[in-house]
Structure 1
Amino acid sequence: MIPNKRLRIHLSPILAGSLLILAACSNKPINDVEKAPVVNSPAPEELVRNEPVEIENSEPMPAAPEQDVPMASPINDGVPDRYVVKKGDTLWDISSHFLKDPWLWPEVWHVNPKIRNPHLIYPGDVIALTWQDGKPSISIVGAEVESIPLPATNLVTVKLSPSAREEKLSRAIDTIPKSAIAAFLRRPFILEPSVLDKSPYIVSNYGDYIISGRGARIYVRPILDASILHYNIVRKGRKYIDPDTNKLLGYEAINLGSARLLKLGDPATLVVETAYKEILKGDVLVPVQSEELDLNFYPRAPDRDIAGRIISVAEGVDRIGQYNIVVLNKGISDGLKAGHVLEIHQAGKIVKSPRGRFRIRLPEERAGLLMIFKPDEKVSYGLVMEAFSELAVHDYVYSP
């Protein structure tokens, strides 16, 4: 074992003196330790909140002067200021040539009072783009009546005559290509319930056969109007329901053929001139449109906001492209008129979410333009003028 020994601490004279001086300067014992005051920590939101700082004699910053933002020009970039109308041109072609948005034509079209029938445009007319007070103006300035090639430069001098147009009215260009709506001119696509209820129908045929074909005599009741000689033979097809209101708009008109009136009566006698499908008892006859469809109207935006849907397409195709005829669920009662231009928006697709067992509808995308050429009370017929991507039934249409 180690014996207990007293522990002795030897301090140097300098260190001992220092301790005596510190002890003398303090009123508290050396062994007492003073605790630091407790400071409450700020709440988390106080750590990130910026308090306003006031600056004495600070003057507010002067507001930036208001500057007029220049309006974007509706004219296509680099377009020539003159254009000679060619045979086969349409007003839509000419409007698209000059304008970024063809439906703005009425805003820039200027009627030249020196031109006879200034609202009509003929092949050979010279259309000029001018600027007045910074605003564009498009008008007919004359007709191309003479061109003289210059051998040295191969340039062409065009002599303009401000009132030399002597074209027949039938040669005036149309707003849309008539060939694109030829199918519509031959037969209807939708039968409204009121029309269907009043239309004559086939009760039998000569020989009382089940099916009637080309050349067959059919008996129809009733036809009492001698002024209508030619009829389309159609069959009531599927219903067209407004996808927005769920109301009945009409029935699909299945084209079967055509017939010509031989004898008035109840029943009347007609002969089948064309037969695309079998013609049966109960099929309906609709008069062939005798009046010429007026295609001399301006492309323009509707007077009110339109939001509708495509409910059908001609010829029964599934996908829609340029120059297809489509039927809309909006008509005269909604404010649509011939010449109104609508944007087509592709309905957003529904996709699976990568983060769960649910589906997401993607946004709509602008996909084309159409022009109304024949509005009815509840529905309208339009021609797709431009298609930026593939379109489909139930796509949306809006005022541009």
Structure 2
Amino acid sequence: MKNFSTVVTRAAAAALVACATAGAALASSTAPAGCTFRPNAPDQHVVVKGDTLWDISGHFLQNPWCWPQVWGMNREEIRNPHWIYPGQVIYFDRTRGRLSLSPPGGDGRGEPPVTRLSPQLRTESLERDAIQAIPAGAIEPYLTQPLVVEASELANAPRIVASQEGRVYLGQGDKVYVKGALHGGSSFQVFRPGTVLKDPQTGKAMAHEAAYLGTVTLVSEARPGVDAHTFRVTDTVQEMGVGDLLVPAPPAPVRNYMPHAPAQAVDARVMSIYAGVSYAGQSQVVTVNRGSLDGLDVGSVLQLYHLGKTVPDPASKGFFGVGKSQIKLPDEQYGSLFIFRVFKNVSYGLIMQVTEPVQVGDVAKSPE
């Protein structure tokens, strides 16, 4: 654990201001299209512990996910940490249509007043002190465990074929034997396929939800003439046994969640609601039937819509409604979805804000 003084904190804040100023110099004097400020936006906001960048931006912007744009940040800068700390002040520069850590009218490069920062020695990392982009605690359980396994992975996944001394259920330290290609991997998560996830538009099976069972570590690969690799169980959260499947342990999860519109137009549907319930609300997790192959990445923001109904045209002729021409009503936007984990054809999203419940089949598409 390293010690960091408030001098370092101020330096990080100053670097952020300089970054925002450089981007703003190339931007127009108003907010980008679709990133309008609220009519009653305040002149400033004092950051407090528990704030998120999404919440703070919601005080100023109609669409909170637009904050990187109104800071004048480009796509590469969005990939880097956006460090803001309790005690700092976010200012609304109405003339330039930008948010800033410096009061309007200055050169944009000044540091926040020393009195706004705690004078004592910090004993935690700067990143831990910084406020979060989104309520990360809501998605932490979904970042390190296999949530879905796509059809191609399921067909080729290594599987447990035997256990030491023929044990039916396995525990920590037990030896197991695995058949299948490891592709150079040595650490694997064990799962059991669950509910089939079907595309609401086509009915095609897209993936399986995965019941996470634990982890295993390679002891030795199969030698010539031997069909199975030797593994040892390193951790269990549920009983695992012969027939259960392996997936490589994922890399460290990305926790730098900077929102942005997808790089290409995305028209997705809500495919499932985690835990199998019928409706979902704010801070709950859903899957959509689009992934990295469709242009989604971590941080993509989609707008949620209820599909517009088709109703009979009251002006057309017909007998008790039969034979009348039909009118398609527009889709109704009611919220936003933040994509935080992406597979090839499927993604998981956190519901950020909604005015109505989310249902399977709802539209999730690129912001307009």
TM-score, normalised to structure 1, is: 0.65
Structure 1 residue corresponding to 2:252, chosen from 278, 291, 303: 291
**Hey, what does 2:217 align to over in structure 1?**
261
The answer to whether structure 1 residue 316 and structure 2 residue 276 are counterparts is yes
Q: Work out which of the two has the higher radius of gyration on C-alpha atoms and give 1 or 2.
A: 1
The answer to whether structure 1 residue 97 and structure 2 residue 59 are counterparts is yes
Structure 2 residue corresponding to 1:304, chosen from 250, 255, 264: 264
C-alpha distance in structure 2 between counterparts of 1:192 and 1:358, whole Å:
44
**Hey, what does 1:80 align to over in structure 2?**
42
Query: How is 1:7-86 mapped onto 2 (pairs within 5 angstroms)?
Result: 74-86=36-48
Query: How is 1:160-171 mapped onto 2 (pairs within 5 angstroms)?
Result: 168-171=126-129
The structural deviation recorded for 1:145 is: 3.2
C-alpha distance in structure 1 between counterparts of 2:39 and 2:348, whole Å:
33
Larger RCO, structures 1/2 (Cα 8 Å, 6+ apart): 2
The structural deviation recorded for 1:177 is: 1.8
The structural deviation recorded for 1:258 is: 0.5
Task: Please tell me the residue identity of whatever aligns with 1:236.
Answer: P
The answer to whether structure 1 residue 328 and structure 2 residue 288 are counterparts is yes
| CA-to-aligned-CA distance 1:192-219 (integer Å, 9 cap, x gap) | 223223432111222324x414445432
* C-alpha RMSD over aligned residues: 3.6
C-alpha distance in structure 2 between counterparts of 1:207 and 1:351, whole Å:
66
**Hey, what does 1:120 align to over in structure 2?**
83
The answer to whether structure 1 residue 139 and structure 2 residue 100 are counterparts is yes
2:50 is paired with a residue whose SS is coil
Query: How is 1:129-278 mapped onto 2 (pairs within 5 angstroms)?
Result: 129-132=92-95, 135-141=96-102, 142-143=111-112, 145-146=114-115, 168-209=126-167, 211-215=168-172, 216-222=174-180, 228-229=186-187, 231-255=188-212, 257-261=213-217, 263-265=219-221, 266-271=228-233, 273-276=235-238, 278=239
1:104 is paired with a residue whose SS is helix
The structural deviation recorded for 1:384 is: 0.6
Change in 2 beyond 3 A, CA 1:364/1:358: farther
Contact 2:47 2:87 in 1 (8 A): yes
Stretch moving more, 349-358 or 379-388: 349-358
| CA-to-aligned-CA distance 1:273-302 (integer Å, 9 cap, x gap) | 3243x43422112233341313242x2333
Stretch moving more, 327-336 or 102-111: 102-111
Unaligned runs of 5+ in 1: 1-70, 112-116, 147-157, 161-165
Contact 1:193 1:251 in 2 (8 A): yes
Contact 1:302 1:336 in 2 (8 A): yes
Contact 1:110 1:139 in 2 (8 A): no
TM-score, normalised to structure 2, is: 0.70
Task: Please tell me the residue identity of whatever aligns with 2:265.
Answer: D
Contact 2:38 2:62 in 1 (8 A): yes
**Hey, what does 2:349 align to over in structure 1?**
382
Stretch moving more, 352-361 or 300-309: 352-361
Task: Please tell me the residue identity of whatever aligns with 2:68.
Answer: P
Contact 1:223 1:268 in 2 (8 A): no
**Hey, what does 2:11 align to over in structure 1?**
none
Q: How many residues align?
A: 303
1:337 is paired with a residue whose SS is coil
**Hey, what does 2:364 align to over in structure 1?**
397
Change in 2 beyond 3 A, CA 1:321/1:144: farther
C-alpha distance in structure 2 between counterparts of 1:196 and 1:118, whole Å:
35
Task: Please tell me the residue identity of whatever aligns with 1:122.
Answer: Y
The structural deviation recorded for 1:365 is: 2.9
| CA-to-aligned-CA distance 1:65-122 (integer Å, 9 cap, x gap) | xxxxxx99922233322222223322211211210112332332146xxxxx894323
C-alpha distance in structure 1 between counterparts of 2:184 and 2:192, whole Å:
23
Task: Please tell me the residue identity of whatever aligns with 2:134.
Answer: I
Contact 2:150 2:206 in 1 (8 A): yes
The answer to whether structure 1 residue 337 and structure 2 residue 297 are counterparts is yes
Change in 2 beyond 3 A, CA 1:371/1:123: same
Unaligned runs of 5+ in 2: 1-32, 74-79, 103-110, 119-123, 222-227
The structural deviation recorded for 1:248 is: 4.0
C-alpha distance in structure 2 between counterparts of 1:118 and 1:283, whole Å:
39
C-alpha distance in structure 1 between counterparts of 2:363 and 2:47, whole Å:
34
C-alpha distance in structure 1 between counterparts of 2:282 and 2:255, whole Å:
21
Contact 2:190 2:216 in 1 (8 A): no
Contact 2:44 2:89 in 1 (8 A): yes
Task: Please tell me the residue identity of whatever aligns with 1:171.
Answer: D
Contact 1:261 1:270 in 2 (8 A): yes
Task: Please tell me the residue identity of whatever aligns with 1:285.
Answer: L
1:143 is paired with a residue whose SS is coil
C-alpha distance in structure 1 between counterparts of 2:191 and 2:231, whole Å:
17
Contact 1:189 1:314 in 2 (8 A): no
